[in-house]
Amino acid sequence: MGLSDKEQKVLDELERQLTGGKAEKPKAQEKQVTKQSYARLLVAGSLLVVIGLSILVFATTLHQVWLGVIAFLIMLSGLYLVSQNWSGKAYRAPKSTPKQSSEQGNFFQKRWDDRNNRS
């Protein structure tokens, strides 16, 4: 038995809500680019921290306060870049696995079949 137009619209809306309203996109490339950009932030920030620390040690041996302040600012900017990596966006696990979504689809299919068999 076919679905009426209203039932088809309701079913399409449910599917859209379950998938998050997005069409299936290849996310492997997006995740790889994201991981690479976060890795670059981590490396650049770490280098800035090491360079800033080196300049700070050098500035203290020369007793130059202004150079120490600049070195401290360099270290802070490096720490800021490193902290951008720890947001978890690059390494966060997906919220739903394909197994869960197929189980959820089976639940709704079973419910639909039960509803249609009763009437």
How many Cβ atoms from other residues are within 10 Å of residue 51's Cβ? 14
Alpha-carbon distance of 26 to 40, in angstroms, equals 23
pLDDT at 33 over 70: no
Which residues does 49 contact at the CB level (< 8 Å), separation at least 6? 75, 78, 79, 82
Nearest CA-CA partner of 55 in 40, 77, 84: 77
Judge whether 71 lies within some domain. yes
Identify the domain containing residue 78 by its residue range: 31-85
Judge whether 36 lies within some domain. yes
Distances, alpha carbon 114 to alpha carbons 1, 12, 96, 109, in Å: 14, 19, 26, 9
Stretch 45-66: mean pLDDT, rounded? 93
What is the pTM for the complete model shown?
0.47
Judge whether 94 lies within some domain. no
Judge whether 61 lies within some domain. yes
Judge whether 8 lies within some domain. no
Q: How would residue 59 be classed by pLDDT, with cut points 50, 70 and 90?
A: very high
Judge whether 93 lies within some domain. no
Judge whether 37 lies within some domain. yes
Judge whether 112 lies within some domain. no
Q: How many domains does the structure of the chain reveal?
A: 1
The phi and psi torsions of 87 (rounded to 5 degrees) equal -75, -20
How confident is the model at residue 71, as a pLDDT?
A: 94
